[in-house]
Amino acid sequence: MSMEQEVELAKQGDREAFIRLMRQIEQGLYNTARAMVKKDEDIADALQETILKAYKSLDTLREPGFFKTWVYRILINECSTILKRRSRSVTMETLPETQDASDNMASVELRMAVDKLEDQQRIVIILYYFQDMPLKQVADTLQISESAVKTRLYRARKTLMEEIHPAEEGKMNHESI
């Protein structure tokens, strides 16, 4: 059954259809929330509020094909609200607990560099690269133009290259000594 058909069933009151829909996108929602708010309790709050709001306002979704984009928009708004409430103090974050032994230092450095990006650039990188959303869907989710998405991606990639490239040079110079 297609996502659009599931959305129609859920809009008609089928709770199981709504649960199936949320299960299809739950990992992506979790990863996005984690990238934005980082703290486990805030991730749980954002996800819970997102699911509740999506369920309560499902009848307002006009186009079933935009369900995923619509839910991500709700999640991003929830994460933004949590971040606004949080104090502005910066704390050192620990590495994620789910690190695989096969993860290499480059991917850890990349993830840390992405986490340092300003919010607008970070969320575009997360949606485009980590959630594999096409440019149009990223634009729809963030309610900005595709050209704005491209600009943010360009700036984020440039910042990431500046952040990562010197670290790689330093590592190579150190190894050659």
Short-list 73, 163, 46, 72, CA closest to 112: 163
* Per-residue pLDDT, 87: 55
Alpha carbons within 13 angstroms on the beta-carbon side of residue 124 total 23
CATH of 1-86, one of 1.10.1740.10, 2.40.30.10, 1.10.10.10, 3.40.50.2300: 1.10.1740.10
Task: Answer whether 138's CB lies under 8 Å from 124's CB.
Answer: yes
Integer Cα distance of 31 and 33 in angstroms:
6
Classify domain 103-177 at the CATH topology level: Arc Repressor Mutant, subunit A (1.10.10)
Q: In this structure, what token pair is assigned to residue 141?
A: 């989710």
pTM of the model as a whole: 0.67
What's the pLDDT tens digit per position in 50-84? Answer: 999 999 999 999 999 999 999 999 999 999 888 88
- Which residues in the chain are classed under CATH 1.10.1740.10? 1-86
Q: Which residues contact 80 (CB under 8 A, 6 or more apart)?
A: 36, 119
* Per-residue pLDDT, 172: 46
Integer Cα distance of 133 and 125 in angstroms:
10
pLDDT tens across the length of the chain (177 residues):
888 999 999 999 999 999 999 999 999 999 999 988 988 999 999 999 999 999 999 999 999 999 999 999 999 999 988 888 875 544 544 444 444 444 556 677 777 888 888 888 888 988 888 888 899 989 988 889 999 999 999 999 988 888 877 654 445 444 444
